[in-house]
Structure 1
Amino acid sequence: MRKAAGVVVLYNPIESEVLQNIKSYVNELDVIYCIDNSDEENNFFSEIEKCVYIPNHKNIGLSKALALGCDKALREGATVLVTLDQDTVFEKKCISTLIKYVEENNDAGVVSPNVKRIVRINGKRKVIDSALYSSSIEEVGYVITSGCVFTAKTYDLTDGFDESLFIGQIDQDFCCSVRKINKKVLRLGNVFMYQE
């Protein structure tokens, strides 16, 4: 039976924005592990039943936080993992489409959506509605970490997230691990996330 887990890494989040972002995809996941790298606790997730809040009380880096969340998800029976940034927003059914694709295509190691950008103008978020990539399904060298969907089986076969990396090159490194096990890194151009 499928259990889809999200792992979202937080760092000094803006409460209203993060809650709004998580609500854009919460219904497509069974559980969301909120790994908080802030010095202070930000446990404002009580209104979202599926959120499991894990404070680190310091910035341990993105890679360690992702590994912590993925490992906990696997111990608790997750079969599919989705990695997320606190500023990621998804269109409806995007995650469900990505999960279905990775489950039905054995050669797919990581699948990711197309991206539309969010920019800040005078402190307010604005979506730039043009996609960054083509609308086709493309095999690519790497995709950004946020929005990555992969099975627990694929994750177990890779080296996971290199915890010596703090924030940079994590996405490239993980995608290299996926390609080393002869799986593809794919972008589905017809589903979208919004990324600041």
Structure 2
Amino acid sequence: MKVVAIVVTFHPEFNALGALLDILNSQVDTVVVVDNCSGNDFYNWFNKFYAQKVHGIFLAENTGVATAQNKGIVWARTEGADAVVLFDQDSLPEHGMVNCLAMALKNEQAKGNKVAAVGPKYVDERNVDRPSFSRLIGIRLKKVLYEQEIVPSDFIISSGSLIPICTLDEVGMMNDEFFIDQIDIEWCLRAKACGYQSYGVCSTTMQHNLGEEPLKFLGFTLLHHSPLRHYYIFRNAIRLLFKSYIPLGWKLIFIRTLLLRFFLYSLFVTPRLKYCKMMAKGVWHGLKGRMGKFIPG
């Protein structure tokens, strides 16, 4: 299996990205970095990795995560890849992770299962109780326990996910119009509607921080994001409500989550007014179908 790693960057922290590229070089056939216009400093820093056979695609503007992933996938196809493994710039897989994922993929395919993606457990030391894998049971989302080596999951976070090219050929690419946020959920649920199952691989791990410093509220630890990120969270979730392949249970989860976030951030998290405006604008644009990169005004 020829595997190409796709790393999407946007003004990365150089040491963290360097550690990721170093460890990926020993785990995959080729690495391609798709950069969303991080500037000359990044380009000059990246030059040293060409000697390590790391390819670079430098975009003239910030096109968003989904578009950058798609450009990497197109490049991987030209390289004859059998699968791609996606990474955010601040993730760090353990040694042997990609091989472990590839073996899990082959095992499930050998059973006759149509595989959407396989992904590792992720470890966010700021929020250790957050589950890596979950499934919709009725109208509730239940975390999947790590009792087996490979477990079905409704979705896998994009960073660390290994996806066969043949699956992408049938399911389609990442949704460009989402720009950022919920890209992985949308794609995995779309794949599930096509008969493909995503799997979590409990025997391998990856360090990965979700969002900014988590928010503590009434004994709960919640993912924390900026007002701009909340615009995308609300807009994209609203758009998912109109997708026929999204199960009703998931739509109810999206609605419940948005209501909770709107209540919490508009009342208790500063800057409250800015959060309120961006969330409301996200709802309005989602209803209108105004997608892509947020343009103020």
| 1:101 matched to 2:104 | yes
Query: C-alpha separation between the residues in 2 aligned to 1:92 and 1:162?
Result: 30
Task: Identify which of structures 1 and 2 has the higher relative contact order when contacts are C-alpha pairs closer than 8 Å and 6+ apart.
Answer: 1
Match of 1:29 in 2: 28
Structure 2 counterpart SS, 1:25: helix
Task: Report if aligned partners of 1:22, 1:89 keep a CA contact under 8 Å in 2.
Answer: no
CA shift for structure 1 position 24: 2.3
| 1:158 matched to 2:171 | yes
Task: Report if aligned partners of 1:40, 1:57 keep a CA contact under 8 Å in 2.
Answer: no
Deviates more, 1:74-83 or 1:21-30: 21-30
Question: How do 1:122-137 and structure 2 match up within 5 A?
Answer: 132-133=131-132, 134-135=145-146, 136=148, 137=150
Match of 1:73 in 2: 76
The counterpart of 1:189, out of the listed 199, 202, 215, is: 202
Count residues with an aligned counterpart.
187
Task: Report if aligned partners of 2:156, 2:200 keep a CA contact under 8 Å in 1.
Answer: yes
Query: CA distance change for structure 1 residues 118 and 9 in 2, over 3 Å: closer, same or farther?
Result: farther
Task: Report if aligned partners of 1:4, 1:79 keep a CA contact under 8 Å in 2.
Answer: yes
Q: State the one-letter code of the partner of 1:15.
A: F
Structure 1 counterpart SS, 2:119: strand
RMSD: 1.9
Runs of 4+ with deviation above 2 angstroms: 45-48, 128-137
| 1:179 matched to 2:207 | no
Match of 2:117 in 1: 110
Query: C-alpha separation between the residues in 2 aligned to 1:64 and 1:180?
Result: 22
Q: State the one-letter code of the partner of 2:172.
A: D
CA shift for structure 1 position 101: 1.5
Query: CA distance change for structure 1 residues 45 and 3 in 2, over 3 Å: closer, same or farther?
Result: farther
Give 5+ residue unaligned stretches, structure 2: 133-144, 210-297
Query: C-alpha separation between the residues in 2 aligned to 1:61 and 1:144?
Result: 16
- Structure having the higher helix fraction is 2
Structure 1 counterpart SS, 2:189: helix
Task: Report if aligned partners of 1:138, 1:189 keep a CA contact under 8 Å in 2.
Answer: yes
Task: Report if aligned partners of 2:104, 2:201 keep a CA contact under 8 Å in 1.
Answer: no
TM-score between the two structures when normalised by the length of structure 1: 0.88
CA shift for structure 1 position 45: 4.7
Structure 1 counterpart SS, 2:48: coil
The counterpart of 2:62, out of the listed 49, 52, 59, is: 59
Match of 1:124 in 2: none
Task: Report if aligned partners of 1:102, 1:109 keep a CA contact under 8 Å in 2.
Answer: no
1:46-92 per-residue CA deviation (whole Å, 9 max, x = no partner) reads 24613101110321000000000001101221111101100010111
Query: CA distance change for structure 1 residues 131 and 93 in 2, over 3 Å: closer, same or farther?
Result: farther
Task: Report if aligned partners of 1:114, 1:131 keep a CA contact under 8 Å in 2.
Answer: no
Structure 2 counterpart SS, 1:143: coil
Work out which of the two has the higher radius of gyration on C-alpha atoms and give 1 or 2: 2
CA shift for structure 1 position 177: 2.5
1:30-52 per-residue CA deviation (whole Å, 9 max, x = no partner) reads 11110000341423152461310
Percent of pairs with identical residues: 21
Query: C-alpha separation between the residues in 2 aligned to 1:118 and 1:149?
Result: 23
Structure 2 counterpart SS, 1:191: strand
Query: C-alpha separation between the residues in 2 aligned to 1:145 and 1:68?
Result: 15
CA shift for structure 1 position 179: 1.1
